[in-house]
């Protein structure tokens, strides 16, 4: 299943990072109202569904990377 990461919402559009780094724009109303930058979604039946597991995994990886850079 492909995962999309929300980069930002601007002017009614959500900018999502696709699995291979390409950026796409979709109408923000296609995402849950509470969506925020960094949240991850999977595309199921042409609908973006929030993935709590993937979001937490990526945030954890990012925090670990930042921590390792700060300790250097």
Domain span at residue 60 reads 3-71
Identify the segments of the chain with pLDDT beneath 50.
Answer: none
| DSSP letter, residue 29 | G
Spatial distance between the Cα atoms of 29 and 22, rounded to a whole number of angstroms: 21
Question: How confident is the model at residue 71, as a pLDDT?
Answer: 84
Question: How confident is the model at residue 34, as a pLDDT?
Answer: 94
Domain count, the chain: 1
pTM: 0.85
Tokens of 29: 């109303």
Q: What is the CATH number of the domain that holds 47?
A: 2.30.30
- Give just the sign of the alpha carbon dihedral 31, 32, 33, 34: negative
Question: How confident is the model at residue 52, as a pLDDT?
Answer: 97
């Amino acid at each position: 299943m492909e995962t999309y990461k929300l980069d930002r919402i601007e002017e009614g559009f959500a900018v999502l990072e696709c699995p291979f780094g390409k950026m796409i724009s979709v109408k923000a109303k296609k995402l849950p109202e509470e969506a925020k930058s960094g949240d991850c979604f999977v595309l199921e039946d042409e609908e973006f569904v929030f993935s709590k597991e993937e979001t937490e995994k990526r945030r954890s990886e990012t925090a670990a990377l930042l921590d390792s850079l700060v300790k250097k």
